[in-house]
Amino acid sequence: MKALSLALVALIALIQYPLWLGKGSWMRVWEVDGQIKSQRDKNAKLQTRNTVLEAEVRDLKQGFEAVEERARSELGMIKQDEIFFQLLQPGQSVPPAAQTPGKAPAK
């Protein structure tokens, strides 16, 4: 009887090993579940970024206002026959590119 009990305990231990420590164990399931949650968070952030970029692309394709805004802010462009005023802080000098050709810089 003692040998049978010992054999059953050993059999139960052998059955439990894959459940807790094997390839498809609970530990591995918990680890993969954590990775899935982390990846879902990353995907949500990237989806938000993609939505913003998609809206910007749509705006650039359909509306000239967005193109004009970009040209003005990033490239410093102005419309033809438009007057551009640059306000300088006290002590700030006029950049060489902004000076009128043929005239000495104002001091």
pLDDT (tens, 9 = 90+) of the chain, 107 residues, equals 889 899 998 988 888 877 777 777 888 888 999 999 999 999 999 999 999 999 988 887 887 777 787 777 787 788 888 887 777 888 777 666 555 554 445 54
Residue 60 belongs to domain spanning: 26-68
How far is Cα of residue 62 from the mean position of the Cα atoms in its chain?
25
What Cα–Cα distance (Å) separates residue 57 from each residue in 47, 48, 69?
15, 14, 14
Structurally, the chain folds into a number of domains equal to: 1
In a domain, 91, yes or no: no
In a domain, 43, yes or no: yes
In a domain, 105, yes or no: no
- pLDDT, position 16: 81
In a domain, 61, yes or no: yes
In a domain, 37, yes or no: yes
- pLDDT, position 97: 54
The closest alpha carbon to 55, from 76, 92, 63, 94, belongs to: 63
- pLDDT, position 23: 77
